[in-house]
Structure 1
Amino acid sequence: MNGSGGNLQDDNRVSTGLPGLDDVLDGLRIGDNVVWRVSDLDDYRRFVTPFIESAASAGRRIIYLRFGQHPPLVSKSANIHIENVDALGGFETFTGRVWRLIEEHGRGAFYVCDCLSDLLDAWATDAMVGNFFRVVCPFLFELDTVAWFALHPDRHSRTTLDRIRQTTQVMVDVHRLGDDVQIQPIKVWCRQSPTMFLPHTEYKGRFVPVDDSSNATRLQAGLELAQLHRQPLLDYWDRLFMQVVGALEGDDQEQVADIQNRVLNVLISRDPRMLDLARNYLGLEDLLAIRARMIGSGYIGGKAAGMLIARSILLTDKPDIWQECLEPHDSSYLGSDAYYAYLVHNGLWPAIMRQRSADGYFSEASELRQGLLAGSFPPEIRAELERLLDHYGQYPILVRSSSLQEDGFGNAFAGKYDSVFLINQGAPEHRLAALEDAIRQVYASTMSEDALVYRKQHKLDQKEEPMALLIQRVNGRFHGRYYLPDAAGVGVSRNTFAWDTDMNPAAGMVRLVMGLGTRAVDRIEDDHACVMALDYPLRQPFRNQDGSYRFSQHLLDVLDLREGKLSTRPLSQLTQEVSDLPLSHLGEVDQTASQRARELSLPSPVWRLTFQPLVRNGHFVARLSNLLSALEAGYSHPVDVEFTLHLNSVGEPTFNLVQCRPLATIGEATATEIPKEIPGSNLLFRTIGHFMGGNINLEIQRVIRVNASVYSQLTVSQKYEVASLVGEQVRAENSKTMLIGPGRWGTSSPELGVPVRFADIAGVAALVEVAEMDGNMVPDLSYGSHFFQDLVEAGIAYVALFPNGRNCIYQPNQLVDIDGHTQEITPLAAIQSFDLRATPLQLTGDVISQNLVCYFQD
């Protein structure tokens, strides 16, 4: 940053406090940032003191930004305001705090800052020191300040030194050779003289240029000799991993533990629980392997860390099984510092600061999102992305969010940030452009409304949340124009939706699909994943085989190489187009439908994806049960995993574990005892099974019900209006609210339920889905889905009611006369709200007996 030119007037001049130094530099100017490159901090201190004294005598406001580990440069006095800023909170927190302080102190303030090199001890990432300077220096210039900084050049890479030099207005080297100390201006913006940039020696208060080339050469030779035994100018990050190599080659266990802790704190997490896991399961060799696959520096993020820790747990604790049954991962990591580098490179830091304010948190997000989508990548990042694509060749890849807080204990961020599949076909430049667009999309998703609401709800809105990326080769096979895994699933180690009293919640549960796992983790409309309780994998929640077929998977998510995108294809179409799908290992032939198809001259046989051959004929259930129990034991907490399956010729699976995170649960406290007798006049509903989240004990003060008979007659646009009105009513009051509605809350298909966003209903206490409207609107028991994760993380109880089922009673007439006069058919008329604070409902569920009731207490 070089500022703007123009004629400099005398009133723009500022003294350094040393007349001799003023002569060398032609004084300072308002707006100058002055960087002193020193080998000894006392050499910076000796120039700071006269500058402060001069500024104080001129009546200037002087702010000392104190963040270093070195002794203070300045003593507290009436003329100096000391601001202590903690760098350990991370780059964004620290830089944001400094930005706010500069805003508060306003125009014309003078600043003295601690040594920038001390930030390395907090961040361990050299590039971020340069990015910090590139953020604050232009801001200080705009506010007509003068600011002083110091750094130790031998602790930084040439790239960082060059960027600081390009950004500052004044840079001065201080050379020390024994007792001989000389200064040499390196950059002085808009000023020059024939001797300005020569070395200068102090003599009787003046700084005399070394204008004899022989003397200058001798000085330089002496400095170079002193530097011979110092490390080359490497990034601090690179030197840190050189120390990892050194620790591995030695046998000092104390040194190994020390360097492991240092690396874990800057690479893996700040969460003590995640750090404890990583300390137990990620050794120095594992950390070097991560570094070898990493672009940039900083954290790899929660999703990447969870995947790697989980794999290590399996290979460490159950090597006899998982050395053979767990496929090697092929993942790369774009470090969190690359996200900040992208912001700084594209001049987006002022926008970030506006968005981080209380008033701008939501209002500024849209503009910042557009800036993230339109940015370009720093050259050094772009070059690494090219090399990454060389590694993956033309295999499809998946660009996944992996933010600092993601997939941690209590903060899964399930579905809040984007993940993008890339077909990865075509010329190298086209593949690079597609990868860059995917990264931009994930970066921009940090500003989505759902993500913003989630962070605010979890009190993370003011915490540092840099976006790292996990980039993975998509596990699967080429099938002509299509690419897909044999199968994929979501497994959970704790089944808090056990629909049968025989089922043990500790046995776990799985949602299985054929093809890409997107259909296992998302609520897919009018299609169904296969849900299995692992202790009774062949026991389905359907009355008969027809129900099992009807509520099975009919659509597959695949990568279409010809169209160049993620596509959804009917199973019936794929069975005709692709001859080598592993259908016999995953499904069964529907004999009745096949006979009917033959009679109508339609393609046959007709396959149904029941996954029963996978259960009956191999070790799938035993291996998945082992995987979940081992990970729950390792985490000391129930877990939620995503995986793909690769089947051999006889249908035996190997697992590719792509994600692991602590499972969110409402709680395990013992529920309030359910009364043995509840008068029918007090009962709103009762169900055996079909509720999620463990034990439930809630007092409901308000009910918002969507009337199915009115809702079914609305147009599509009117149904979206209903969803918006529900959100407004939820936010209008802070009482414990239960939503009751037909079909699926949060659907994207209004004919199947109410298309609310989770952000609209995040504050409710309980969510009830009712099978109404002639069976078209059926609750989706989407255990393991992103929507379910949202519910349980927010502590929202979930209930599915099937009024025609034998184990369900539902009496909405306890709230409203449903046989009353015909209502008008409008969005507002479809919503009924009941204030029950005077006579609250009690919602009680017991996970052991699987009984749940909602009733008015006498």
Structure 2
Amino acid sequence: MNETGTVESRVLKYADKEKITSGVPQLDGILQSYRLGDNVVWEVEELEDYRYFAGKLIRQAISSGSKCVYVRFAPHDPILEPMEGLDIVKIDPGNGFDFFSSQVHRTIEHYGEKVYYVFDNLSSLMVEWATDELVANFFKATCPYLFELETIGYFCLTRGKHSHSTVASIRETTQVLLDYYHIGDRAYIHPLKVYDRYSQSMFLPHVVTGENWEPIFDSGKAASISSIDRRKVIRMGSRGTAPWDTVYTKLKFHYEMGILDTIPDPELTALRQELSRMIIGEHPRFNRLADIYLTLEDLLGIRDRMIGSGRIGGKAVGMLLSRNIVLNSDRKEEFSEIIEAHDSFYIGSDVFFTFMINNDLFRLKVRLSDSSSMTKDEFEEVEKRFLEGKFPEEIMEQFKDLMDYFGQAPIIVRSSSLQEDSYGNAFAGKYRSEFCANQGSPEERLEAFMHAVKLVYASALNPDALAYRRTRGLHYHDEQMAILVQRVSGMSYRQYFFPALAGVAFSKNLFRWTKRIDPEKGLIRLVFGLGTRSVDRVGRDYPRMIAVSHPALRPETGSKLIKYSQWDVDVLDLDAKDLITIPFYDLVSRCDYPNLRMFVSVMNDGYLTDPYTNTIDCSQEVVLTFNNLIKNTRFVDIMGQILRIVEEVYEQPVDIEFTASLDQKGNVRINIVQCRPMTTPGSDENIEIPDNIKDENILFRSGMLINQGKVENVEYIVYIDPQAYEAADMDLKRSIGRVVGRINEKIGGMGSEFILMGPGRWGSSNIELGVNATYSEIEHTSLLVEIAREKAGHTPEVSYGTHFFQDIVEEEIIYMPVYPDAKGSKFNEAFFRDSRNMLTDILPDHEGFSHVVKVINVREASFGAHAVVIANLYEQDAVCYLEKPAVGRTWKLDKLKGQWQ
């Protein structure tokens, strides 16, 4: 029955009702027992399963002296055999819906309150009445009456035999809905609805074995089980005659009937390719790979797991292709045991535009796409507009199916736009991904999921994404937002959920901190916990950088190993229902996390040592080094093979986001969650640095690079003074990124070359660690310099592998850290201190920032010279120096000011 009206007035009493046993203690434990008034619907594959549970219920009820009734109406074998204490009431459904429903109603009225009922399989009524809708109507007429009389009612449906609307109606009406199924020789029970009861494991699938029916917390096991169960898909609404439906329906019918060979080969190939293009779109290189690596079964599986229609977007395509490339390689037998199954779902790109049009958001999208800029406050208003939007009823019903499928397993709602993760356009970090802890009642979980979907939709209009599209000439191209819904990898530990390992791997290593490293073998950026800390510049953390060619080599040595480690972990707090950051030591303070010795080293007498046993003394300092993982497992070798295999097929370097886990024997399991073509920076030629540069002409020099190039005729330097920044108050620090954005827009509009220099980490979410400028606020610079001042306490992070790095590479911005206080460093202190600050010339109302932000006109400060930057990646050497202009060039001092007036 619908949980409004009558039920609403009784809900407080309902939770306090007497607990009623099902006759199966394990089931009572999962559901926290029945309550008088419960109608229980079983979706089963085999009637024998329903027969078992119905028999347990009735025998228990008879032994306790309760009245029991079996309503017999179906042609199948009896659910219950005659027994003392059981009344069998036979009613013929052949006389029609009205007669049958009325007779059932009279039977219920006759027996009165607190009776136990078992009904035959409701699916047989669909055959008798030739309509699915009447099955739902019968249940909606019967269930509320049973509820009012405080009975216990057992009903049954054959799994997969009913329309979405029928099951949705029954789900809304009943108090308990249970999915019971078999995979191989094991049975599983998955509660989909339990009214007014809740636990953190109630809505998870449970394996039915022995005395303990264990919930499946581990994401890998859950995905393996669910991906095999192909009947657990989205129930589609009514089919139309559009080409999409026609192609899918024809292929699905012939596939399921096992008669594909009746379709001529040319026609079958054409139909399969047509379905592939409908799902993926027209991307020649991806289409070629899809034709080879996505089977008809794969394509039908994608459609079966799609909400709405349209395309699945670049992120979903990259994930699917890379997985299949590895699983179909010459080492497929080995990788079949290593690559975790996935059971992802897709929200088709058509739903995005339907949502925008139905909620009057389309004109807003057009206006913002044409606009040159948008403030943070303006974008917050855009998000608010999206969050107020509503979805069509049919989409809502499919959302409910998706949430029923995942139960309480944490999920992530990921952007997968049509242009995302494609060749040449990564859109790295431009759109949102939202974690859902997925805890609480079904209604709460659905609401949180829709909130996440709307935030991802809104991110299509965020300033960074719009700037990225404009910069790359994509702002008038078709850019629809599909969504990839994935199970979060990992398992529960205490009240937290997270993977043991996560990170991003690159088939080319552009960060060679020693010439011993082979750049062709790739690099891994590894963290403990959720992978957010591997792709974002957050907090005080440094992920473990692993060169695949030399895994044991580190960029750091000695005491710096501790400083340049990961200290905080991102996890999902299932109690708080939120993504949180927790210190690593607090998370593992009990030292009972599985395989902990593979991830940590222990400080012993001033030295880091790697544990030999599983017994770790957490009273000592433990540091995330991953040393034992690297030395004693095949993790690095496996990742190296994956990178090589995918790169060869893509015919281009790739980067792959992944999660990983270890079993007790040290066997590695990998889950590929994302793959995209990798943009490599600069040219391959060796750019020589002149050896005759005078020391007095050098502005700064760096010996640590991630890309190379040469920039001539640098006219301006934007310099954020590290010591002034350190002394500034928090409000001013929060605003500096916006000030940089305005300067970036002004100088960028002139087409002039300029350098950005500032303390610590550009783009960090923590303003204590560096300037919080976004992509759209730095996009026009030629060189980005991170200054490490020991007195100011700022330390750059060589951010190879982050979304921030991807932006720098794609825009061909040279990046380097500079250490002015380091021994042997070259940094022209006087030039940056004494040059005139032109900030108020270009931003007259920003005088309050002039003690921190300095805009230097290089020609004015150097009597007509300009700056040149040369960065040699192979030699790990970069220099910025002053060079006199060519003979015949003139310079007008008022040029800059005139340009801005």
Q: Is the 8 A contact 2:344 2:484 kept in 1?
A: yes
Match for residue 750 of structure 1? 767
Aligned pair partner of 2:795 in 763, 770, 778: 778
Identify if the C-alpha distance between structure 1 residues 577 and 397 changes in structure 2 by more than 3 Å, giving closer, same or farther: farther
Q: Residues 403-450 of structure 1, C-alpha deviation per residue, up to 9 Å, x if partnerless?
A: 111111222111111111111112111111111111111111122222
1:180 is aligned to none
Counterpart-to-counterpart distance in 1, 2:710 and 2:276: 38
Q: Which range moves more in the overlay, 810-819 or 442-451?
A: 810-819
| Distance across 2 between alignment mates of 1:554 and 1:364 | 35
Alignment partner, residue 840 of structure 1? 866
Partner residue of 1:767?
A: 784
Cα-to-partner distance string for 1:154-196 (whole Å, 9 max, x where unaligned): xxxxx9xxxxxxxxxxxxxxxxxxxxxxxxxxxxxxxxxxxxx
Shift of 1:393: 1.6
* 1:402 and 1:469 in contact (8 A); partners too: yes
Letter in 2 for 1:738: I
1:614 to 617, 621, 629: 629
**1:488 and 1:644 in contact (8 A); partners too:** yes
Question: Partner of 2:485: helix, strand, or coil?
Answer: strand
Q: Tell me, in whole angstroms, the C-alpha distance in 1 between the residues paired with 2:380 and 2:538.
A: 28
Distance change (3 Å), C-alpha of 1:619 and 1:408:
same
Q: How does 1:34-49 map to 2 (within 5 A)?
A: none
Cα distance in 1 between the residues matched to 2:622 and 2:369? 53
Other structure's SS at 1:701 match:
strand
- Separation in structure 2 between the aligned mates of residue 359 and residue 772 of structure 1, nearest angstrom: 36
Q: Does 1:735 align with 2:752?
A: yes
Aligned counterparts of 1:807 and 1:661: Cα–Cα separation in 2 = 40
1:249 and 2:249 equivalent?
no
Q: Determine if the alignment matches structure 1 residue 438 to structure 2 residue 449.
A: no
Q: Post-superposition shift, 1:639?
A: 0.9
Q: Which amino acid aligns with 1:634?
A: V
Distance in 2, Cα, partners of 1:772 & 1:851: 20
1:627 aligns with 2:649: no
Question: What's the TM-score once normalised by structure 2's chain length?
Answer: 0.65
One-letter amino acid of the structure 1 residue matched with residue 438 of structure 2: N
- What is the CA-CA distance between 1:619 and the residue it aligns to? 0.6
Tell me which amino acid in the other structure corresponds to 2:389.
G
What secondary structure does 1:431 align onto?
helix
Match of 1:295 among 307, 310, 315: 307
Corresponding residue number in structure 2 for 1:423: 437
Residues 575 and 581, structure 1, Cα contact 8 Å, conserved in 2: no
Instruction: Return the alpha-carbon distance in structure 2 between the equivalents of residues 700 and 321 of structure 1.
Output: 53
2:416 counterpart residue number = 402
SS of equivalent residue, structure 1 residue 810: coil
Alignment partners' CA distance in 2, 1:359 and 1:478: 45
1:615-671 deviation digits (Å, cap 9, x = unpaired): 100111111111111111111111111100011113332100000011122233414
- Structure 1 residues 542 and 594: CA distance shift in structure 2, 3 A: closer
Q: Structure 2 residue aligned with 1:831, among 853, 858, 863? A: 853
Shift in CA distance, 622/806, structure 1 to aligned 2, threshold 3 Å? farther
Query: Do residues 558 (structure 1) and 565 (structure 2) align?
Result: no
Q: 1:850 aligns with which of 873, 876, 889?
A: 876
Structure 1, unaligned stretches of length 5 or more?
1-158, 160-230, 596-601
**CA offsets, 1:236-261, max 9 Å, x none?**
42211134344881374432432233
| Aligned positions of 1:361-510 closer than 5 A | 368-510=382-524
Q: 1:385 to 1:316 in 2, by over 3 A?
A: same
Aligned-partner residue type, residue 660 of structure 2: L
1:328 partnered with 2:349: no
* Alpha-carbon spacing, 1:364–1:556, altered in 2? closer, same or farther (3 Å): closer
CA contact (8 A) 2:542 2:564 kept: yes
- Give the SS at the match of 1:503: coil
Q: Report if the CA contact (8 A) 1:301-1:468 is conserved.
A: yes
* TM-score, reference length from structure 1: 0.68
Contact 1:739 1:764 in 2 (8 A): yes
Superposed CA deviations along residues 517-547 of structure 1, whole A, max 9, x for unmatched, are 1111110121221112221221111231x21
Tell me what 1:165 maps to. Answer: none
- The 1:237/1:608 distance shift into structure 2, 3 A limit, reads same
Quick check: 2:523–2:547 contact (8 Å CA) kept in 1? yes
Q: What is the SS of the residue equivalent to 1:719?
A: helix
Greater shift, 837-846 or 766-775, is seen at 837-846
After superposing the two structures, state which structure 1 stretch, 285-294 or 256-265, moved more. 256-265
Alignment check: 8 A CA contact 1:743 1:769 kept: yes
State the distance in 2 between where 1:360 and 1:573 align.
42
**Residue 360 (structure 1) shift:** 9.6
**Alignment check: 8 A CA contact 1:684 1:810 kept:** yes
Q: How big is the shift at 1:267?
A: 1.0
Deviation of 1:720 (Å): 2.8
- With 361-370 and 241-250 compared, the bigger mean Cα shift is at 361-370
Whole-Å Cα distance in 1 between the matches of residues 734 and 271 of structure 2?
55
Residue by residue over 1:713-748, the C-alpha shift from the partner in whole angstroms, topping out at 9 and shown as x without a partner, is 211112233333222222212311111111111223
Please list the CA deviations of residues 309-358 of structure 1 after superposition, one character each: whole Å capped at 9, or x if unmatched: 11111112231432121111121111101111212332333444444455
Matched, 1:636 2:643: no
Please give the alpha-carbon distance, in whole angstroms, between the structure 1 residues aligned to 2:546 and 2:396. Answer: 44
Secondary structure of the structure 2 residue equivalent to 1:645: strand
What amino acid is aligned across from residue 529 of structure 2 in structure 1? G
Q: Residues 711 and 719 of structure 1 are in contact (CA less than 8 Å); yes or no, is this contact kept in structure 2?
A: yes
Q: Does 1:271 align with 2:286?
A: no
- Which stretch of the first structure deviates more once superposed, 792-801 or 375-384? 792-801
Residue 366 of structure 1 deviates from its aligned partner by 6.0
Secondary structure of 1:768's aligned partner: strand
Q: Does 1:573 align with 2:586?
A: yes
Which position in structure 1 is the counterpart of 2:120?
A: none
The 8 Å contact of residues 669 and 695 in structure 1, kept in 2 or not, is answered as no
State the shift of 1:806 in Å.
Answer: 5.8
Name the counterpart of 1:102: none
- Is the contact between residue 486 and residue 582 of structure 1 (CA under 8 Å) also seen in structure 2? no
Give me the whole-angstrom Cα distance separating, in 2, the residues matched to 1:482 and 1:586: 18
Letter in 2 for 1:852: A
- Contact 1:501/1:850 (8 A) holds in 2: no
Instruction: Return the letter of the residue paired with 1:653.
Output: V
Kept in 2: contact 1:396–1:423 (CA 8 A): yes
CA distance in structure 1 between the partners assigned to 2:771 and 2:827 by the alignment: 19
The answer to whether the 8 Å contact 2:318/2:675 transfers is: yes
Q: How many residues are aligned here?
A: 621
* 1:656 alignment partner in structure 2: 671
Please name the residue that 1:262 is paired with: 274
Distance in 2 between residues matched to 1:850 and 1:244, nearest whole Å:
56
The SS at the match of 1:621 is: helix
Is residue 800 of structure 1 aligned with residue 812 of structure 2?
A: no
Residues 651, 426 of structure 1: alpha-carbon distance in 2 compared, 3 angstrom cutoff: same
CA distance in 1, matches of 2:825, 2:288: 45
Equivalent position SS for 1:753: coil
For residue 547 of structure 2, the aligned residue among 517, 533, 540 is 533
| RMSD over equivalenced CA pairs, Å | 3.0
Contact 1:491 1:509 (C-alpha < 8 Å) held by counterparts? yes
- Give the % identical residues: 36
Aligned partners of 1:359 and 1:555: how far apart in 2? 38
**Correspondence 1:721 to 2:735:** yes
Counterpart of 2:205 in structure 1 is none
Cα 1:540/1:391, change in 2 over 3 Å: same
1:27 is matched with none
Structure 1 232/537 Cα, relative in aligned 2: closer, same or farther at 3 Å? closer
AA aligned opposite 1:829: H
- Tell me the amino acid that sits aligned with residue 305 of structure 2: R
Aligned counterpart for 1:315 among listed residues 308, 327, 331 = 327
- Aligned partner of 1:854: which letter? C
Residues 1:603 and 1:497: Cα distance change in structure 2 (over 3 Å): closer
Indicate if the aligned counterparts of 1:527 and 1:553 stay in contact, CA closer than 8 A: yes
Which whole-Å deviations, capped at 9, do the CAs of 1:803-838 have from their partners, x for residues lacking one?
344675333435554999xxx995212222223365
Which residue of structure 2 aligns with residue 28 of structure 1? none
